[in-house]
């Protein structure tokens, strides 16, 4: 018996192939669905562009919180009671200002949190906190 006769009786290997035609059909259907539904789901949101001033710029109240717990409103030392009344009158004005809190780098968190709670109770619409970094 020769080697050729043994090879003829050997089973032919089965090759598994993916039917690419149906895969392409499914992908084209998905692309068409996305092309139809994508414009329907987009909403335009008008955003104000920079560079156009609305006229009246809000005033800024600068509040410095020192490491010792002292408070300075626009450079003038104030107590907590004076700060409370000043913030309430500013909040009730025709155009309320923006409060900008500037704590020193080593100011205790409790002091800053108490000032922020006082400012929130006063009714000011906008409060900013300016962060500081410590030297490492």
pLDDT in tens, 38-60: 877 676 667 666 665 556 677 88
Smallest CA-to-CA distance from 127 within 78, 60, 64, 82 is with: 60
**Predicted local confidence at residue 33, as pLDDT:** 92
Q: Are 134 and 105 in contact (CB under 8 A)?
A: yes
Its pTM stands at 0.56
Coil, helix or strand at residue 27 = helix
Low-confidence ranges of the chain (pLDDT < 50): none
**Predicted local confidence at residue 134, as pLDDT:** 63
**Spatial separation of the C-alpha atoms in residues 113 and 88, rounded to whole Å:** 18
**Predicted local confidence at residue 71, as pLDDT:** 94
Q: Are 129 and 101 in contact (CB under 8 A)?
A: yes
Q: Say which CATH class 60-129 falls into.
A: alpha beta
**Predicted local confidence at residue 52, as pLDDT:** 55
Mean residue pLDDT of the chain comes to 83
């Amino acid at each position: 018996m020769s080697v050729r006769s043994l090879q003829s009786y050997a089973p032919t290997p089965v090759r598994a192939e993916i039917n690419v035609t149906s895969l392409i059909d499914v992908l084209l259907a998905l692309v068409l669905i996305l092309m139809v539904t994508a414009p329907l789901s987009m909403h335009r949101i008008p955003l104000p562009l920079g560079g156009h001033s609305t006229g009246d710029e809000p005033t800024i109240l600068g509040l410095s919180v020192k490491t010792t717990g002292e408070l300075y409103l626009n450079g003038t030392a104030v107590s907590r009671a004076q700060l409370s009344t000043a913030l309430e009158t500013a909040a009730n004005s025709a155009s309320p200002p923006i409060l900008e809190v500037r704590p020193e780098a080593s100011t205790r968190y409790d002091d800053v949190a108490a000032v922020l709670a006082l400012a929130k109770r006063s009714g000011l619409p906008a409060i900013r906190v300016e962060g500081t970094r410590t030297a490492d």
